[in-house]
Amino acid sequence: MPQLPVVIVLAAGRGERFAASGGAVHKLQALLAGKRVMDHVLDAVKASGLPYHVVTADPARPGMGDSIAAGVRATPGANGWLILPADLPLISCETLKAMAFAPPCEVTVPVVHGQRGHPVRFGLECTQELLNLHGNQGAAELIRARAATESIAFIELDDVGCISDIDTLDDLKRAEGLLASR
């Protein structure tokens, strides 16, 4: 069996939009069907059987790019990475496995109903660029650069969990409805 990529769970965001929408707790602590948003994500990651690393807040380096770089630094023996924001509570373990076992490419992006989602898979070719990330933009520029050189693959998936992030109370209500309809 090939060495698998490490899932880097990004749990370092401040959740400001959620608070601004009326959220009383941090969005990752908010309850969805009686369980914290973060726990839904971690349950899917654990059920996938993939290795993982959780990145939590670092006040000195608060941006998504900083968090991705920290996750890559913390997993030096990884055979690539699946970057998974912790605010995607509907993500399925099957999606994580599909992304992990997809044919190798420098960058692999899931697409659901024409919309790009998460987790994005990065191959070892991207190591230095991931380590150099900082600030709030995450890896968007790296993905654009790979798309321009056709060093990117898009995987069509049927998992709305890839595109159902929790940024507001309305998002949480929408996720409740989607979860109830499963």
Domain ranges of the chain: 6-176
Residue range 71-76: average pLDDT?
96
Determine which of 78-87, 93-102, 140-149 has the lowest per-residue pLDDT on average.
Answer: 140-149
pLDDT at residue 15 tops 90: no
> What would the CATH number be for the domain defined by 6-176?
3.90.550.10
pLDDT at residue 22 tops 70: yes
Task: Report the pLDDT value the prediction gives residue 78, as an integer from 0 to 100.
Answer: 95
Give the distance, in angstroms, between the CA of residue 173 and the centroid of all CA atoms in the same chain. 20
Task: Report the pLDDT value the prediction gives residue 13, as an integer from 0 to 100.
Answer: 83
Model confidence at 182, pLDDT cuts 50, 70, 90, reads confident
Task: Report the pLDDT value the prediction gives residue 2, as an integer from 0 to 100.
Answer: 59
Q: What is the pTM of this model?
A: 0.94
